[in-house]
């Protein structure tokens, strides 16, 4: 199921616990540990592996990220769908990957933004802010989980799985909200410090 099903509400039964609450309670595990082990670390690891090993900037927001679990909730896994991703040919060249690339979404060819900025967009914006931060908010509201624990786990996983080699910018890059006649998009420096990867904001309050 899409990741957003974990933290979304049932429109027909808005007073029911979120699926996240139900799964954590059923597991009998500590909520923070469950989230770190089952969601945060697998998501960051999958994203980093794809970026570092293949040059693919996966857009792991709540719709493209899938969360699977078995009937009794003891086993779970994180998957990804949607192959329309931006690709950095420079990383692929360094890795010795020489198979033909798609016709579109190639950084330095039809994608004009620098690779580190594109990777910031999809990691800091799509996955960290749009998905993980929302998950952390719901976990705090419903399960009493300190969001800082989850962000710390995200930063640790980012480092452990090679994310630092991507040389992402010190601040977050996101869309500049400008409509252009040719339909192309551009990114701007938001000036915000990343919360889910190592950076200037990785102090205890983060």
Q: Of 191 and 9, which is predicted with more confidence? A: 191
Tell me what the pLDDT averaged over the chain comes to.
93
- The string of pLDDT tens digits covering residues 40-89 is 999 999 999 999 999 999 999 999 999 999 877 788 999 999 988 999 99
Percentage of the chain with pLDDT > 90? 83
pLDDT at 115 over 80: yes
| pLDDT (0 to 100) of residue 165 | 96
In this prediction, residue 70 carries a pLDDT of 87
How confident is the model over 116-167, as pLDDT tens digits? 999 999 999 999 999 999 999 999 999 999 999 999 999 999 999 999 999 9
Whole-number pLDDT of residue 204: 47
Q: Which residues contact 85 (CB under 8 A, 6 or more apart)?
A: 56, 57, 58, 59, 105
Ordered structural domains, the chain, with CATH: 4-189 (1.10.510.40)
CB 101 within 8 A of CB 87: yes
Closest CA to 47 of 138, 129, 162, 147: 162
Stated length of the chain: 206
Helices marked H in 8-55: 19-27, 31-35, 41-54
């Amino acid at each position: 199921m899409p990741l957003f099903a974990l933290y979304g509400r049932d429109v027909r039964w808005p007073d029911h616990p979120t699926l996240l609450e139900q799964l954590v309670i059923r597991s009998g595990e500590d909520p923070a540990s469950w989230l770190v082990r089952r969601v945060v670390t697998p998501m960051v690891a999958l994203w980093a592996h794809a970026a570092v090993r293949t040059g693919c900037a996966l857009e792991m927001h709540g719709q493209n990220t899938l969360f699977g679990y078995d009937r009794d909730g003891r086993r779970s896994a994180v998957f990804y769908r949607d192959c329309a991703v931006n690709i950095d040919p420079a990383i692929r060249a360094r890795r010795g990957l020489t198979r033909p690339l798609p016709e579109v979404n190639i950084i330095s060819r039809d994608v004009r933004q620098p690779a580190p900025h594109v990777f910031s967009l999809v990691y800091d914006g799509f996955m960290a802010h749009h998905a993980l931060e929302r998950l952390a908010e719901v976990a705090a509201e419903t399960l009493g989980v300190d969001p800082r624990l989850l962000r710390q786990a995200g930063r640790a996983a980012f480092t452990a799985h090679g994310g630092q080699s991507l040389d992402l910018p010190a601040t977050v890059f996101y869309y500049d909200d400008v409509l252009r006649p040719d339909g192309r998009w551009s990114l701007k420096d938001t000036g915000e410090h990343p919360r889910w990867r190592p950076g200037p904001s990785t102090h205890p309050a983060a």
